[in-house]
A and B are shown apart, each in its own frame.
Chain A
Amino acid sequence: MKITGAEIFVKSLLEEDVDKIFGYPGGAVIPIYDVLYDEQNIEHILTRHEQGAVHAADGYARSTGKPGVCIATSGPGATNLVTGLATAYMDSIPIVAITGQVPTNMLGTDAFQEADTTGITLPITKHNYLVQDVEDLARIIKEAFHIATTGRPGPVLIDLPKDIQIEEAEFDYPDKVDLPGYKPHYSGHYKQIELATQKIEEAEKPVIYAGGGVIASGAAEELRELAYKAQIPVTTSLMGLGSFPESDELSLGMPGMHGTEYANYALSEADLLIAIGTRFDDRVTGKLDTFVPEAEIVHIDIDPAEVSKRVVVDVPIVGDVKQVLSKLNPMVEDMVDQKRHDDWMDKIRTWKQESVLNQDFPEGILTPGEVISQICELTNGEALITTEVGQNQMWAAQYYQYSKPRSFMSSGGLGTMGYGFPAALGVQAGNLEETVFCIAGDGSFQMNLQELATAVSCELPVNIAILNNHYLGMVRQWQGLFYEKRYSATCLRKRKSCPDDCCEPGEDCPEMTPDFVKLAESFGALGIRVTKPEEIKPALEKAIASPKPVVLDFIIVEEENVFPMVPAGGAIDNMILGEDN
Chain B
Amino acid sequence: MRHTVSILVANRSGVLVRVASLFSRRGYNIESLSVGTTDDPDVSRITVVVEGDEGIVEQVTKQLNKLVDIYKVSNISDDPSIDRNLALIKVKASLNNRSEIMQIVDVFRGKVVDVASESLVIEITGDEEKISAIEELLRPFGILEMVRTGKIAMVRGDK
Contact = CB atoms under 8 A, between A and B. Distances in A.
Interface of A: 118-119, 122-123, 126-127, 130, 147, 179-182, 303-305, 307, 309
Nearest to A180: B71
Interface in B87-117: none
A303 B62 CA distance: 9
Interface in B16-48: 17-18, 21, 25
A127 B68 contact: yes
B77 to A, nearest CB: 19
Interface of B: 9-10, 13-14, 17-18, 21, 25, 59, 62-63, 65-71
B10 A181 contact: yes
22 contacts: A118-B14, A122-B14, A122-B18, A123-B21, A123-B25, A126-B68, A127-B67, A127-B68, A130-B14, A147-B68, A180-B71, A181-B10, A181-B70, A181-B71, A182-B68, A304-B62, A304-B65, A305-B59, A305-B62, A305-B65, A305-B66, A307-B62
A305 B68 contact: no
Nearest to B24: A123
A307 B61 CA distance: 13
Contacts of B68: 126-127, 147, 179, 181-182
B55 to A, nearest CB: 8
Contacts of B14: 118, 122, 130
Contact of A181 (B17, B25, B59, B67): B67
A43 to B, nearest CB: 30
A106 B44 CA distance: 28
Contacts of A127: 67-68
Nearest to B25: A123
Contacts of A119: 17
Contacts of A123: 21, 25
B23 to A, nearest CB: 12
A305 B63 contact: yes
Given A119-B17, A127-B67, A309-B59, 9 more contacts: A122-B14, A122-B21, A130-B13, A147-B68, A179-B68, A180-B71, A181-B67, A181-B68, A305-B63
A83 to B, nearest CB: 18
Contacts of B71: 180-181
Contacts of A130: 13-14
A126 B67 CA distance: 8
A89 to B, nearest CB: 12
Contacts of A118: 14
A121 to B, nearest CB: 12
A576 B62 CA distance: 38
Contacts of B21: 122-123
Nearest to B59: A309
A154 to B, nearest CB: 10
Contacts of A181: 9-10, 67-71
A225 B68 CA distance: 35
Contacts of B13: 130
Contacts of B59: 305, 309
Nearest to A156: B68
B65 to A, nearest CB: 7
Nearest to A128: B14
A460 to B, nearest CB: 35
A123 to B, nearest CB: 6
Contacts of A180: 71
A181 B21 CA distance: 18
10 A-B pairs with the lowest CB-CB distances in the bound complex, closest first: A305-B62, A127-B68, A182-B68, A181-B71, A305-B63, A181-B70, A181-B68, A304-B62, A181-B69, A305-B66
Nearest to A305: B62
Nearest to A118: B14
Contacts of B67: 127, 181
A151 to B, nearest CB: 8
A127 B12 CA distance: 14
A420 B70 CA distance: 35
A179 B70 CA distance: 10
A130 B63 CA distance: 22
Given A180-B71, A181-B10, A309-B59, A303 B18 contact: no
A304 B63 CA distance: 8
Contacts of B63: 305
A147 B68 CA distance: 9
A307 B62 CA distance: 9
A453 B38 CA distance: 55
